[in-house]
Every structure is written in structure tokens, then in C-alpha cells.
């Protein structure tokens, strides 16, 4: 822009017009055009402070922070009291990482212009970066005092309050920002995340949907919506949201990682692995994705690969103490041999002892450990000492697990009224636990007990709806330990009855708390918890061996019947043929009806002998729903164990309930497992009159079918040893008259298994005595309960 001829002052007016035009372009985001005009003005007036300032701002906006600092510094040298320039210099210095100088610049801006709200807000942001949260909050408040409708300051205040743990105040700040600026997508997003942190997933979902009407291509909002949906177990919708986030932002590593988590929860392990691997391709040092990949590989039975992934995660995040515990607890899903089982157990004990000797610190074991000791239960050994050692390890790493509710203190005065009992499980739906205990909950005495169902958010179906209709109150949990402990504590329970401990990580870690005067667990997972705050294990005299007290960290209570009010299964009228399972018509079928991870290698030789003694026999196994990985590992093991008859093993696909009953009808003999029997499968199969050959085991978990026969008063199909089991299996499959006789006896006596109100009354009597004993500081023994129960 050359010199202008004309009347005096015309050049000045023309330069001002150029400045105004450049400023107009600048505000419109047309930075190249604005920069071009500013540069032309500098050719005329090299020391024009506004232009130096504006060019510095553009440099900051395009990430050229060194140039920005230089240009804005020149403007300030020309006009030392240029408040806006000091503020923007602070922004550029903060972007450089020069936080102390940035703070100095903001203070200079505010000294010059005390009502400079933007400088106070920016100072708050920089102080927040420095970890000076209280001073940051004070500056946001100052900005808002100066400029009450400053939406960004309300937003930043909310973010700082959230980091201070002041969640309700943070929510109020975000909501204020949205009152001022309803289309403030980032504020909506952070408010939604905050609701998720509080377990308010429904509210979070509403907010995220609202964001996406404002800004449909907001990848983070799709991602957070997916997270909320995942927590509500709406996995298909969660997967769809993650896919949308990834479509907008393909290199969104966190979305790929969480998509993997959702796939894993759906049982789609191959897809989960692929998602984690994509996340790691984008971000090779993504420790959480390595960790999650390890957990999924473990579920596929690839334990060595899983451990390698855990090691990669820890190489990146060596201070994640919970991950060391997770790695130590990793056990094979499918055991390759009894020798491997013993080796892995020894390794587990050694790892636990090693970790106990280290100063570990875990803030949230649900997040950082996130696994239980589940597969130990299928080793058919006394795990009491190991489980107690694991519990001590968790308590040492996270002492806050031993939370105690206020009403559990001896000086607390109990609220009047019925005894308050909470039934707690993650599986109060059509899961084994839901089937076993639905009737117990429905028939518990409302006259003597106030009944509360407590369940983390999970599937809803007919069983869950029936349970929730039967109780006085439902307390939903949100898998946030600190919040959920307070939720349960607020109920002031007298008795907390865990229907299982050890299957779900969340309820396992919750069980470390003292939330009721009496805390008990039962056979939903037929294994001691090892947790100090669980007082009783409710089992049955029909399942427990003579030395059973030695198997439990809890006080063992043996009811006279199986501890379930089980409804007789409704067998399908649909008739299935062998061809529908891919099974031949001319072979005898020996069915093992349980999940493959329950097939202990100690049973392999017995199964082989059955097949050798029946050349026309086939062993039928039900495959897993994880893509057949378990089935492949089982086949490889059996091929090593008995290669001579491996061709007479048939795997059928994972079955629906009706097809499961159909296969049980078609089987010539159904085989129990003394290492891990099945209560639910036994009650289902016997309920349709299909005989099972039982073989009592050394532990409760191996005696479930045996207990069913004992409760019916039948003994003919209970083996006394391995040879007896083989002989009974062959006879049942080959002697049709014997099988018909067994079917008739089962059908004539099976009513003794179902809908036994006596067991509910016995449970009620025990809990009343246990609560009374707790008030005197004592505990009920099995002997004292039997005396008390028989006398009253």
C-alpha cells in the first residue's frame, strides 16, 4: 500500500480504514487476508503497536508461538500500558509452556485494567495448569463478578470444581454457562461426563443427544454417549456411537479402545482384539489399550500373549500398581493339564507374596485391577488360604476398601421396624444366580423383613422384573465404589446377603466394606470369598463334605436343603432331532452339559475310558460363545490325553435354552463332574426327567448334582468312585430299561427339588439369629443354629 496523495490527514484515514478491514477479516476468521493487510500497514508504519499486536495474535492462533511472543512484545515495548496485549502475550507464553511469565503478563493486564474479566479468566486457566486450583477458582469467580454473563468463565470454573471433587458445584457452573450460552457444546459435553462420573447415565445420555443436535460432528460427544450407553449395558447402541465417533475422527484411539471394551462385553472377542490393535496402531504407547488387550486375550485362552500385553502396558505406565495385581491374578481359562494347574497355582502364590512385600497403592481397584479370582474355583482344591492372601493384598494396596457405614458402629441406634435385608448381586436376571434366588427373594417374609434388591445396572428381563416387583425397594448401583457404598449405607441395612462373590469384580470389591451388621454370601459362586468382612457362607448339609469348615474364611452354615427356591423348569414342547445338532443317529451320546472352563483335566482319563469301553459312544461337548477358542484348547488337550479316541468327540454350538433341553432329551447318558458340578444345570436337567450320573467331589462345588439326588432320596445314580462312575455311565447309555426306571424315579421324586418353602423359612430363621448374635458381639455357628432352629 504506497503513499497516498491528497488532503492532509487522508493517509491516516486510509490506514485506519485498512486496520478496520484487517480487523473485520480477523474477527471473521479469514486469517490469511487479515495478515496480508496488516503486513502492508507495517510497511508504512513499522511501529504501529496495534498491527504488531494483531499480527502476534494471528501467529498465536496458527501455533507460531515464538513469533507471537516476539511481535506482541514489540507492541508492549511501544505501549507499556497496553492491557489487551499483555493478556494475549500471556496466552502465547502459556502455549509455549512458559507458565510463570504468562501469569506475570495476566497480572500486568489486570493492573492496567482491573475490570479485565478475560485476563482474570485466562489467569485462572494458567494457575489451573500449575496445579494452583484454589487460586484458579478465585480468578474465575473474579471474572464472573466483573462479567456475570461470561459463559467461558462459568465453564472453566466448573472444570476446576470438578477436579477439586466438588461435583454438585461443578454441575451448577456448567448449567450456568449453558443458561447464558445454550449451544455451548463443550459445556454440555463436560456436564454429561460429570453426570456419568456420578452414575447418572440416563441424564448423561439426554445431554449427549442434545449436544449432537447442536454439533452433529462432535466426535467426543459420540464417544461419551457410547460410554454412558455401555454403562447402562446398551451395548449395541454403545457400539454404534463409538463407530460414529470413529467415522468423524478415524484416529480417535480412545474410541477404538472403548469400542473394544463394548465388543468384549458382548462376547465378540475377535472384534475386541481388532479394536484394541487399531487403537495401538494409532497410539503405540496407549497403556490402557495394551492392558485391555491382555484381558481379552486371557478370555480367549491365550494366557502367555495376555501376560505379554500386560508387560507392555506396565512398561509404559510402571506406576499402575493395580495392573501388577491384575497380571498376577491371570489364570488359564482352559487348563492344559493338572501339572499346568499346579504350576500356575504356585506362580500365583509366589506373585501374591512378592506383591505383598512391595508398597502398592491402588486408588480404585475396580478400575485398575478389575478382575476377580474366578477361575481358581474350578481347580477343585482348597483355595481358602490363597483367597485370604489375595484379599489382604487388595486391602494393603487400597485401605479404603474397608469402608464402614456409620450405622454399623456399636453406638448407633437402629431405626425401628422390621429387619432390613439387602439381596445383592450383579446377576438378578436370567442368569444362573437369578434363577437360583428369584424364588427365595419372592417368598422371603414381608412380615419380619423389609426386603431390598441391590444390583449394579445390568440386563432387564422377566426374572429381574419379577424380583423388583416382589421387594420393598430396589437400590440401583452405578459401579462407582465410593458413591455406591454411600447409597447402600443410607439404607441402614441389618443384613446384607451377597448371592455370589467372585464372579463380578464390582461386587467382589464392594464386599470388602462393612455395610450391615450381618454380611453373608451363598452358593451363586460356590467358593469362599476370602474377604474379612463377610461373616457367613450359606450352604447345605447335602453338598458339604465332613471337613468343609476348613474350606471357608467365613463361618459355614449348612442348611438342611439346597439353599434355593427353584421353580421347576418349563421344558419346551419342541422336538429336536440329532441332525439339528449335527450328531449321528447310530452312536450313543455321552453329554457333558456344562461350560468348557469347568471341564477339569482330572476328568480326562475317565472320559477316555468310557469311550474306549463303548466303541459306539460319542462324547458331546457344548462349545463356547467366544468364537470357539475354548473348544479348540479343550480339543488340543484331549488329543494329548487320549489320541486313540479323539475322533469320537463332538462339539455342538452354544445352545439356546430350548435346544439345551432338546439335547438333554436326546443324550443317552449325561455326565456329572466331581471337580465342578452344576446346581443350575442339574436342576434344569433333572426337572425334565433326564438322568445324570453323579460323582461326589471333595468340595461343595463338586457335589451339586449329588445333592439334588440326596434331596430327592435317590442314590442309584450316585457313583462311589471312578470305576463306579464309568460303569453307571455305560449302563445308563446302554441299558434302556435301567434308563427308563431312572427317569421314572426322577419324575416321581423331582418335586422335592422345586419350590421348597422350607429353605426360605430356614434362611429367615438363620438371619434372625445371626442379627441377634451380632448385637451381642457374637457369631452363630452351624451347631448353635441347628439347636436354635430345632427348638423354635
Give the pLDDT confidence score for residue 226 in this predicted structure. 87
**Inter-residue contact 177 to 152 (CB < 8 Å):** yes
Q: Write phi, then psi, for 453 (nearest 5 degrees).
A: -95, 130
Alpha-carbon distances, residue 707 vs 262, 524, 586, 699, 752 (angstroms): 38, 15, 33, 12, 12
How many Cβ atoms are within 10 Å of 652's Cβ, its own excluded?
Answer: 18
**Inter-residue contact 171 to 194 (CB < 8 Å):** yes
Higher pLDDT, 480 or 428: 428
Per residue in 71-99, is it b (16+ CB within 10 Å) or e — as a string? bbbbbbeeeeebbbbbbbbbbbbbbeebb
Higher pLDDT, 248 or 19: 248
Alpha-carbon distances, residue 93 vs 61, 138, 152, 498 (angstroms): 13, 21, 20, 56
How many Cβ atoms are within 10 Å of 678's Cβ, its own excluded?
Answer: 22
Gap between the Cα atoms of 125 and 104, Å rounded: 13
Gap between the Cα atoms of 399 and 396, Å rounded: 6
Mean pLDDT of the chain: 92
Tell me: the pLDDT tens digits for 425-469?
Answer: 999 999 999 999 999 999 999 999 999 999 987 778 999 999 999
Gap between the Cα atoms of 691 and 682, Å rounded: 9
Closest CA to 623 of 650, 643, 602: 650
Q: How confident is the model at residue 791 (pLDDT cuts 50, 70, 90)?
A: low
For range 64-74, the mean pLDDT: 90
Q: Write phi, then psi, for 302 (nearest 5 degrees).
A: -100, 70
Decide if pLDDT at 338 tops 90. Answer: yes
SS (H, E, C) 581-615: HCCCCCCEEEEECCCHHHCCHHHHHHHHHHHHHCC
Decide if pLDDT at 271 tops 80. Answer: yes
**Inter-residue contact 478 to 201 (CB < 8 Å):** yes
Q: How confident is the model at residue 775 (pLDDT cuts 50, 70, 90)?
A: very high
Tell me: the pLDDT tens digits for 736-747?
Answer: 999 999 999 999
Tell me: the pLDDT tens digits for 612-634?
Answer: 999 999 999 999 887 789 999 99
**Inter-residue contact 189 to 208 (CB < 8 Å):** yes
Decide if pLDDT at 572 tops 80. Answer: no
**Crossing angle for the helix pair 65-78 and 49-61, nearest 10 degrees?**
160
Decide if pLDDT at 5 tops 60. Answer: no
Closest CA to 483 of 197, 205, 204, 233: 197
Q: What is the DSSP string of 219-285?
A: HHHHHHHHHHHHHTT-HHHHHHHHHHHHHH-TT-HHHHHHHHHHHHHTT-HHHHHHHHHHHHHH-TT
Give the pLDDT confidence score for residue 27 in this predicted structure. 80
Does pTM top 0.75 for this prediction?
yes
Gap between the Cα atoms of 648 and 223, Å rounded: 49
Closest CA to 663 of 591, 614, 599, 721: 591
Give the pLDDT confidence score for residue 2 in this predicted structure. 32
Gap between the Cα atoms of 55 and 434, Å rounded: 68
Query: Rounded to the nearest 5 degrees, what angle is found at the Cα of 619, between the Cα atoms of 614 and 623?
Result: 175
Tell me: the pLDDT tens digits for 364-376?
Answer: 999 999 999 999 9
Give the pLDDT confidence score for residue 6 in this predicted structure. 36
Give the pLDDT confidence score for residue 12 in this predicted structure. 55
Gap between the Cα atoms of 64 and 41, Å rounded: 21
**Inter-residue contact 456 to 421 (CB < 8 Å):** no
Q: How confident is the model at residue 11 (pLDDT cuts 50, 70, 90)?
A: low
For range 488-508, the mean pLDDT: 97
Gap between the Cα atoms of 186 and 218, Å rounded: 9
Identify the bridge partners of residue 536 per DSSP, sorted by sequence position. Answer: 520, 555
Alpha-carbon distances, residue 263 vs 227, 234, 377 (angstroms): 13, 12, 26
The H or E element containing residue 618 is: strand 617-622
- Pairing verdict, β 473-477 and 493-498: unpaired
Give the pLDDT confidence score for residue 269 in this predicted structure. 93
As a whole-number percent, the residues of the chain with pLDDT over 70 amount to: 98
SS (H, E, C) 282-296: HCCCCHHHHHHHHHH
Gap between the Cα atoms of 522 and 503, Å rounded: 12
Amino acid at each position: 500500500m504506497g503513499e497516498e496523495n491528497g488532503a492532509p490527514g487522508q493517509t491516516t484515514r486510509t490506514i485506519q480504514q485498512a486496520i478496520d478491514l484487517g480487523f473485520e477479516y480477523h474477527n471473521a476468521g479469514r486469517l490469511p487476508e487479515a495478515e496480508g493487510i496488516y503486513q502492508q500497514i507495517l510497511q508504512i508504519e513499522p511501529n504501529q503497536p496495534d498491527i504488531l499486536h494483531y499480527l502476534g495474535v494471528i501467529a498465536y492462533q496458527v501455533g507460531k508461538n515464538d513469533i507471537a511472543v516476539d511481535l506482541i512484545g514489540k507492541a508492549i515495548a511501544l505501549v507499556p500500558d497496553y492491557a489487551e496485549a499483555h493478556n494475549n502475550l500471556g496466552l502465547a507464553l502459556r502455549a509455549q509452556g512458559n507458565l510463570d511469565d504468562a501469569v506475570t503478563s495476566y497480572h500486568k493486564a489486570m493492573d492496567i485494567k482491573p475490570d479485565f474479566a478475560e485476563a482474570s479468566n485466562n489467569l485462572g486457566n494458567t494457575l489451573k495448569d500449575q496445579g494452583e486450583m484454589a487460586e484458579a477458582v478465585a480468578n474465575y469467580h473474579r471474572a464472573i463478578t466483573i462479567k456475570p454473563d461470561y459463559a467461558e468463565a462459568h465453564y472453566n470454573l466448573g472444570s476446576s470444581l470438578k477436579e477439586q471433587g466438588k461435583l454438585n458445584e461443578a454441575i451448577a457452573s456448567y448449567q450456568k454457562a449453558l443458561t447464558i450460552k445454550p449451544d455451548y457444546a463443550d459445556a454440555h459435553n463436560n456436564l454429561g461426563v460429570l453426570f456419568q462420573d456420578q452414575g447418572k447415565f440416563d441424564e448423561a445420555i439426554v445431554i449427549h443427544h442434545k449436544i449432537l443436535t447442536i454439533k452433529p460432528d462432535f466426535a467426543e460427544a459420540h464417544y461419551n454417549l457410547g460410554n454412558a450407553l455401555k454403562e447402562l449395558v446398551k451395548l449395541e447402541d454403545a457400539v454404534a456411537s463409538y463407530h460414529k465417533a470413529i467415522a468423524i475422527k478415524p484416529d480417535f484411539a480412545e474410541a477404538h479402545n472403548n469400542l473394544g471394551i463394548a465388543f468384549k462385553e458382548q462376547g465378540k472377542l475377535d472384534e475386541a482384539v481388532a479394536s484394541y490393535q487399531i487403537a495401538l496402531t494409532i497410539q503405540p504407547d496407549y497403556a490402557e489399550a495394551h492392558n485391555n488387550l491382555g484381558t481379552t486375550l486371557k478370555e480367549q485362552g491365550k494366557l502367555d500373549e495376555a501376560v505379554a500385553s500386560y508387560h507392555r502396558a506396565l512398561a509404559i505406565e510402571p506406576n499402575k500398581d493395580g495392573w501388577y495385581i491384575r497380571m498376577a491374578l491371570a489364570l488359564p481359562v482352559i487348563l492344559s493339564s493338572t501339572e499346568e494347574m499346579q504350576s500356575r497355582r504356585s506362580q500365583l502364590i509366589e506373585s501374591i507374596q512378592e506383591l505383598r512385600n512391595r508398597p502398592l497403592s491402588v486408588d480404585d481397584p475396580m478400575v485398575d485391577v478389575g478382575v476377580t479370582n474366578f477361575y481358581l474355583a474350578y481347580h477343585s482344591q482348597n483355595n481358602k488360604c490363597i483367597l485370604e492372601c489375595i484379599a489382604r493384598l487388595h486391602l494393603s494396596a487400597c485401605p479404603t476398601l474397608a469402608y464402614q457405614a456409620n450405622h454399623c458402629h456399636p453406638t448407633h441406634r437402629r431405626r425401628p421396624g422390621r429387619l432390613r435385608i439387602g439381596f445383592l448381586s450383579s446377576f438378578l436376571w436370567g442368569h444362573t444366580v437369578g434363577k437360583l434366588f428369584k424364588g427365595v427373594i419372592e417368598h422371603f417374609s414381608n412380615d419380619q423383613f423389609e426386603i431390598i434388591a441391590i444390583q449394579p445396572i445390568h440386563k432387564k428381563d422377566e426374572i429381574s422384573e419379577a424380583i423388583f416387583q416382589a421387594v420393598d425397594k430396589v437400590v440401583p448401583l452405578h459401579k462407582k465404589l465410593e458413591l455406591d457404598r454411600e447409597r447402600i449405607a443410607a439404607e441402614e441395612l441389618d443384613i446384607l446377603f451377597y448371592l455370589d462373590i467372585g464372579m463380578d469384580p464390582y461386587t467382589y470389591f464392594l464386599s470388602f466394606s462393612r455395610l450391615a451388621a450381618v454380611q453373608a454370601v451363598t452358593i451363586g459362586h460356590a467358593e469362599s470369598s476370602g474377604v474379612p468382612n463377610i461373616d457367613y457362607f450359606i450352604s447345605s448339609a447335602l453338598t458339604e463334605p465332613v471337613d468343609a469348615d476348613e474350606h471357608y474364611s467365613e463361618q459355614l452354615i449348612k442348611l438342611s436343603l439346597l439353599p434355593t427356591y427353584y421353580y421347576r423348569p418349563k421344558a419346551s414342547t419342541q422336538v429336536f432331532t440329532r441332525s439339528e445338532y449335527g450328531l449321528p443317529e447310530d452312536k450313543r451320546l455321552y453329554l457333558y452339559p456344562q461350560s468348557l472352563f469347568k471341564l477339569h483335566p482330572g476328568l480326562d482319563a475317565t472320559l477316555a475310558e468310557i469311550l474306549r469301553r463303548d466303541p459306539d459312544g460319542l462324547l458331546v461337548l457344548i462349545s463356547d460363545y467366544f468364537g470357539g477358542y475354548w473348544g479348540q484348547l479343550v480339543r488340543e488337550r484331549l488329543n494329548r490325553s487320549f489320541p486313540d479316541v479323539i475322533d469320537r468327540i463332538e462339539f455342538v454350538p452354544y445352545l439356546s435354552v430350548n435346544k439345551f433341553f432338546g439335547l438333554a432329551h436326546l443324550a443317552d447318558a449325561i455326565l456329572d463332574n466331581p471337580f465342578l458340578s452344576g446346581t443350575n444345570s442339574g436342576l434344569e436337567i433333572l426337572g425334565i426327567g433326564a438322568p445324570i450320573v453323579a460323582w461326589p467331589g471333595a468340595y461343595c462345588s463338586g457335589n451339586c448334582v449329588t445333592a439334588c439326588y440326596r434331596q430327592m432320596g435317590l442314590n442309584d445314580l450316585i457313583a462311589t468312585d471312578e470305576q463306579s462312575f464309568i460303569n453307571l455311565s455305560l449302563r445308563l447309555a446302554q441299558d434302556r430299561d435301567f434308563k427308563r426306571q431312572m427317569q421314572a424315579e426322577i419324575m416321581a421324586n423331582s418335586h422335592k427339588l422345586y419350590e421348597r418353602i422350607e429353605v426360605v423359612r430356614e434362611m429367615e430363621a438363620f438371619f434372625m439369629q445371626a442379627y441377634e448374635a451380632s448385637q451381642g458381639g457374637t457369631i452363630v455357628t452351624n451347631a448353635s443354629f441347628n439347636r436354635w432352629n430345632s427348638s423354635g
